[in-house]
Amino acid sequence: MLKNQACVPFRLKHNTFKNKICYFIQYDLIDGGLVKNWCRFIRRIALFSLLPMFCFAQYFEDLDSIVLGVCGGKWFGGQSYHFKQMVLFDKSITTVLNTSTSHDTVNLIVTHIHGNNSDEFLIKHWPGPSGDPTYVFCRIENGDTLFFGQFGADKIIVPGNGFVYTERRSNEMFNKKRKYKLIDNGFVEIKQPFYSVDIQSKVVQDVVLYSDTSMVVPIVHLAKGQEVQVLLNSDDYYLIETPLGLTGWVRIEFNDDGSIIHDIFILAD
């Protein structure tokens, strides 16, 4: 169970995620005038035309949510943590249940993983034996609910596009985001080259950053207390940026309690 965990009653909440595309146009109209910035304006218009291919799939409009709880407090090393346990979904293809069953399980929603597919899925939430949140997916066939897969996660997004997106801070070193694809007999994770970390923190001891994960060629030595930006993660390796803009890798073992970088620590019992 997470230390100082504070939970609120289940509630249904409407969320709207807007793509602020107009920024790309407004930037050039305001910053120096359209004529002066014509070339840059044209480039941004070209970028605008490509956004549906590269960006729109990553953001979802008009999603509803069920918030199961809010976890927050101070960890043993003095680190602060705060995150929601919740499910987001497309209300147009979803039936909200939000009913408790036995063994602390909650039947959350019945929805379509892929909006163009007639298959329906019941999504349940189970807190696990020690406060380890799990979302269970069951396919509905002829009135029966058949186990299909499950995710250990704090937050899941089911937008109806054939994918499930998860975020997990509990039992992880940082808030790790994953993407899964629906296949015939379950889900398969879409592998990323790195996991995004994006945390402003500080080093707790003197640290050397290296040019790659072989940890052979040093880039910079950082003194205890130096502020850093943690950019990316791959296995036990983290890409760090210094205030001067230098980047390099540091190794932090899983289950570390924040002994190297203050805000990279395992949040688990």
Average pLDDT over residues 194-200: 98
What pTM value is reported for the model? 0.78
Burial classification of residue 221, based on how many CB atoms lie within 10 Å of its CB (0-12 exposed, 13-18 middle, 19 or more buried) = exposed
Tokens of 153: 């996660």
Among 108, 99, 131, smallest CA distance to 6 is for 131
Average pLDDT over residues 135-155: 95
As a 3-state breakdown, the chain gives helix, strand, coil percent values, each rounded to 5, of 15, 45, 40
Convert the pLDDT of each residue in 65-75 to its tens digit.
999 999 999 99
Average pLDDT over residues 138-151: 95
In whole angstroms, what is the distance from residue 240 CA to residue 221 CA?
12
Average pLDDT over residues 254-259: 96
Grouping H, G, I as helix, E, B as strand and the rest as coil, residue 68 is: strand
Instruction: Set out the domains of the chain in order of their start, with CATH numbers.
Output: 23-58 (no CATH), 60-189 (no CATH), 195-251 (2.30.30.40)
Question: Residue 36: its pLDDT value, please?
Answer: 40
Residue pair 150/156 in contact (Cβ under 8 Å)? The answer is no
For the chain, first and last CA: distance in Å? 6
For the chain, percent of residues with pLDDT exceeding 90 = 68
Residue pair 64/15 in contact (Cβ under 8 Å)? The answer is yes
Radius of gyration of the chain (CA): 22
Give strand ranges (E) for the chain.
11-15, 63-74, 80-90, 94-100, 106-111, 120-126, 134-141, 144-152, 155-158, 163-168, 176-183, 186-189, 195-202, 207-210, 218-222, 227-234, 237-241, 247-251
Grouping H, G, I as helix, E, B as strand and the rest as coil, residue 78 is: coil
Does position 200 have pLDDT exceeding 70, yes or no? yes
Question: Residue 59: its pLDDT value, please?
Answer: 59
Beta bridge mates, 202? 227
